[in-house]
Amino acid sequence: MRFSIFLALLMTVLAALPAGAARKADAGKNKGAGKVSQVATRPVATDPAYAAYEKCRYMEAKKLAEAAAAKGDGPSHTLLGILYEQGLGVPQDLTKAAEWYAKGAKLGDVHAQFALGVMLAEGRGIKQNKKLAAQFFELAAAKNHATAIYNLALIYVDGDARPQDFKKAAELMERAAKLDHAQAQYDLAAFYRAGQGVPQSDRKSAYWLGKAAEAGMTNAELEYGIALYLGKGVPKDEAKGFTMIRRAAENGNPVAQNRMAHALAVGRGTKRDPVAAAKWHLLSRQAGVSDFALDGFLGSLSPEERKSAEKAAVDWEQSTAALLE
């Protein structure tokens, strides 16, 4: 994009910012592109303002960023946007955040372009404009910003700011997936599973599920574990499948907990353990996953086994709650 065109784009953005001296933060609900990752920062070793930010010295970061921004430093504008967006060292002000992002985007900072796209897509601190958001995502995507690429894919799925195009969405999703964007990997697996925008392929679906599972996505761990149990798109490996499902269960996924209970009750992919099976069934049932077969299994336990399972479930809940405090 030529500079004159880019400048016109930025003028459109700045004109959309709410007027008025008070500049109160817009508390609107998320709209458009959905929840996205936090704006990335530069390495702290190369920038004193970002170094102060990483050490939670926000007032110092603001002062340093303002000085650098006055000299035309793009990433410093972005940092000021982050501070105002999150209310760090300053009162939260989404309008000011959008203004700083717009200025940083004009200077070519990829993170500012992405952040401004998010605010435009969601209508936070600036009038919602999904078409303009898509343009800023495209600018960031051209510089291989993985989440910008992913958001662009969602725009093509949605069919609002761009014509609906599942093939284009799948291409963008794969670009983001290859940049290790876990959500893109998980969604791309669904594209291949359904044959949406790409030729249907259980093998490729399982491959990308595995990548997302390796990145720690709980739903991907569960689904990849099931694929391993069934040998769907991947060589059958019940032991590895159990390991993946256990990871999801320990992260609190009730469906994974239910699958764990089944595996432990009969010893599939792991050693049979009736008490542990009952524990996971109790946890999943409490979370709303009913299972009459496992209810019957629970009823077959001895009073001592039932008591041990109930205690184990309570202990697990308490230990998990303690981690969240």
150 found inside a domain: no
pLDDT over threshold 70, residue 316 = yes
pLDDT over threshold 70, residue 183 = yes
Question: Pick from 108, 143, 178: which residue ends a domain?
Answer: 143
Question: Pick from 143, 174, 198: which residue ends a domain?
Answer: 143
pLDDT over threshold 90, residue 3 = no
**Which tens digits make up the pLDDT trace of 95-149?**
999 999 999 999 999 999 999 999 999 999 999 999 999 999 999 999 999 999 9
**Which tens digits make up the pLDDT trace of 203-231?**
999 999 999 999 999 999 999 999 999 99
pLDDT over threshold 90, residue 270 = yes
User: What's the confidence (pLDDT) of residue 4?
Assistant: 44
User: In 3D, which of 70, 72, 96, 74 has the Cα closest to residue 83?
Assistant: 96
228 found inside a domain: no
CATH number of the domain to which 94 belongs = 1.25.40.10
How is residue 208 written in tokens?
């990308």
Across the chain, mean pLDDT equals 88
The vertex-230 CA angle with 227 and 233, nearest 5°, equals: 55
> How many domains does one find in the chain?
2
Q: Is the dihedral of CA 313, 314, 318, 324 positive or negative?
A: positive
101 found inside a domain: yes
User: What's the confidence (pLDDT) of residue 5?
Assistant: 46
51 found inside a domain: yes
172 found inside a domain: no
230-264 burial, b for 16+ CB within 10 Å, e for fewer? eeebbeebbebbbebbbbbbbbebbbbbbbbbbbb
- What predicted TM-score, i.e. pTM, was given to this entire model? 0.84
**Which tens digits make up the pLDDT trace of 37-94?**
444 445 444 789 999 999 999 999 999 999 999 999 999 999 999 999 999 999 999 9
CB 281 within 8 A of CB 304: no
Which range marks the domain in which residue 139 is found? Answer: 1-17+28-143
User: In 3D, which of 175, 204, 176 has the Cα closest to residue 190?
Assistant: 204
114 found inside a domain: yes
Mean pLDDT for the stretch of residues 303-322: 92
Tell me how far apart the alpha carbons of residues 146 and 153 are, in angstroms, rounded to a whole number.
11
Tell me how far apart the alpha carbons of residues 261 and 280 are, in angstroms, rounded to a whole number.
5
User: What's the confidence (pLDDT) of residue 17?
Assistant: 56
